[in-house]
A and B are shown apart, each in its own frame.
Chain A
Amino acid sequence: MSAGRQSLAGWASVSPALLWTLVFFAAPFAAMAAVSLFPKDGGGFSLANYTQFFANPSYWRALTNSLEVTLIVTAVSILLAYPFAWILAFVVPERWQRLALMLAVLPFWTSYVVRSYSWLLVLAEKGAVNNALIHLGLLAEPIQLANTRAATVIGFVHFFVMLLTLTIFANLKQLSPNYRKAAADLGAGPIRSFIHVILPLTMPGIMVGAFLTFVLAIGDYITPQILGGNNELLMPQLIMMQIGRRGDFASASALSIILMAVVTVAYLLCARWLKIERA
Chain B
Amino acid sequence: MARIVSTLYAAAVYGFIFLPVIVLVLFSFQATLFPIPPFTGPSLRWYEAVLRDARLTDGLLNSMLVAVATSALATLLGFLSAWGFARFHMPASALMRGLITLPLTVSYLIIGMGLLILFNWIGIPKSLITAGIGHVVINLPLCFAIIYSQMGDHQANVERAARDLGAKEWQVLLLVTAPMLWPALFASFFLSMTFSWDEFVIAFLLTRFDTTLPVEIWNLLRAGLNPKTNAVGSLVFGVSIVLAIVFELVAFRKRPA
- State in angstroms the CA–CA spacing of A198 and B3 once bound together: 20
Is the CB of A233 closer than 8 A to any CB of chain B?
A: no
| B17 neighbours in A (Cβ, 8 Å) | 104, 106-107, 158, 161-162
Q: Which of B8-62 contact A (CB under 8 A)?
A: 9-10, 13-14, 16-21, 23-24, 27, 34-37
Name the prevailing secondary structure of the A interface residues. helix
Q: Do A112 and B105 touch across chains, with their CB atoms under 8 A apart?
A: no
Q: Do A110 and B200 touch across chains, with their CB atoms under 8 A apart?
A: no
| A215 neighbours in B (Cβ, 8 Å) | 105, 107
| A24 neighbours in B (Cβ, 8 Å) | 115, 118, 133-134, 136-137
Shortest beta-carbon distance, B215 to chain A, in Å?
8
With A109-B241, A118-B23, A127-B36 as contacts: A80 and B106 at CB distance below 8 Å: no
Q: Do B121 and A31 touch across chains, with their CB atoms under 8 A apart?
A: yes
Is the CB of B127 closer than 8 A to any CB of chain A?
A: no
Name the prevailing secondary structure of the B interface residues. helix
Q: Do A28 and B16 touch across chains, with their CB atoms under 8 A apart?
A: no
Identify the closest chain B residue to A7 (Cβ): B88
| B148 neighbours in A (Cβ, 8 Å) | 276, 278
Interface size on A, residues (CB 8 A): 82
Of A17, A216, A256, A277, most B-chain CB atoms within 10 Å:
A17
- State in angstroms the CA–CA spacing of A218 and B244 once bound together: 27
Identify the closest chain B residue to A252 (Cβ): B113
- State in angstroms the CA–CA spacing of A216 and B195 once bound together: 13
Q: Do B109 and A239 touch across chains, with their CB atoms under 8 A apart?
A: yes
Is the CB of B233 closer than 8 A to any CB of chain A?
A: yes
Q: Do A104 and B14 touch across chains, with their CB atoms under 8 A apart?
A: yes
Q: Do B23 and A16 touch across chains, with their CB atoms under 8 A apart?
A: no
**What is the size category of the interface that chain B forms with chain A?**
35 or more
Is the CB of B80 closer than 8 A to any CB of chain A?
A: yes
Q: Do B118 and A117 touch across chains, with their CB atoms under 8 A apart?
A: no
Candidates A22, A121, A260; contact of B110 at CB < 8 Å:
A260
Q: Do A20 and B90 touch across chains, with their CB atoms under 8 A apart?
A: no
Q: Do B240 and A222 touch across chains, with their CB atoms under 8 A apart?
A: no
Is the CB of A48 closer than 8 A to any CB of chain B?
A: no
| B176 neighbours in A (Cβ, 8 Å) | none
Tell me which of A50-58, A83-91, A202-210 binds B.
A83-91
Q: Do B23 and A278 touch across chains, with their CB atoms under 8 A apart?
A: no
| A256 neighbours in B (Cβ, 8 Å) | 109-110, 113-114
Shortest beta-carbon distance, A121 to chain B, in Å?
5
- State in angstroms the CA–CA spacing of A16 and B78 once bound together: 9
Q: B-facing mask of A114-140, CB < 8 A → 1, else 0?
A: 110111111010111001000000000
Is the CB of A191 closer than 8 A to any CB of chain B?
A: no
| B181 neighbours in A (Cβ, 8 Å) | none
| B85 neighbours in A (Cβ, 8 Å) | 14
With A84-B10, A109-B241 as contacts: A17 and B78 at CB distance below 8 Å: yes
Candidates A22, A128, A263; contact of B107 at CB < 8 Å:
A263
- State in angstroms the CA–CA spacing of A21 and B214 once bound together: 25
Q: Which of B122-161 contact A (CB under 8 A)?
A: 133-134, 136-137, 140, 144-145, 148-152
- State in angstroms the CA–CA spacing of A259 and B110 once bound together: 9
Q: Do A29 and B114 touch across chains, with their CB atoms under 8 A apart?
A: yes
- State in angstroms the CA–CA spacing of A226 and B21 once bound together: 16
Q: A-facing mask of B215-238, CB < 8 A → 1, else 0?
A: 001100100010001101100110
Shortest beta-carbon distance, B6 to chain A, in Å?
5
Shortest beta-carbon distance, B47 to chain A, in Å?
15
Q: Do A253 and B36 touch across chains, with their CB atoms under 8 A apart?
A: no
Is the CB of A113 closer than 8 A to any CB of chain B?
A: yes
| A124 neighbours in B (Cβ, 8 Å) | 36, 225
Q: A-facing mask of B95-109, CB < 8 A → 1, else 0?
A: 010011111011111
With A109-B240, A249-B117 as contacts: A114 and B217 at CB distance below 8 Å: yes
Identify the closest chain B residue to A27 (Cβ): B118
Nearest 4 interchain pairs by C-beta = A219-B107, A28-B114, A10-B88, A13-B84
Given contacts A11-B84, A21-B99, A221-B201, 10 further A-B contacts (CB under 8 A): A10-B90, A13-B83, A17-B77, A106-B241, A110-B240, A113-B214, A114-B233, A120-B225, A121-B35, A161-B17
Chosen A-B contacts, 15 in total, with CB atoms closer than 8 Å, are A7-B89, A10-B89, A13-B80, A35-B117, A84-B10, A109-B237, A109-B240, A112-B214, A117-B233, A118-B24, A121-B27, A122-B19, A222-B200, A252-B113, A278-B149
User: A-side interface residues toward B, CB under 8 Å?
Assistant: 1, 6-7, 9-14, 16-18, 20-22, 24-29, 31-32, 35, 80, 83-84, 87-88, 91-92, 102-104, 106-107, 109-115, 117-122, 124, 126-128, 131, 158, 161-162, 215-216, 218-222, 226, 236, 239-240, 243, 249, 252-253, 256, 259-260, 263-264, 267, 276-279
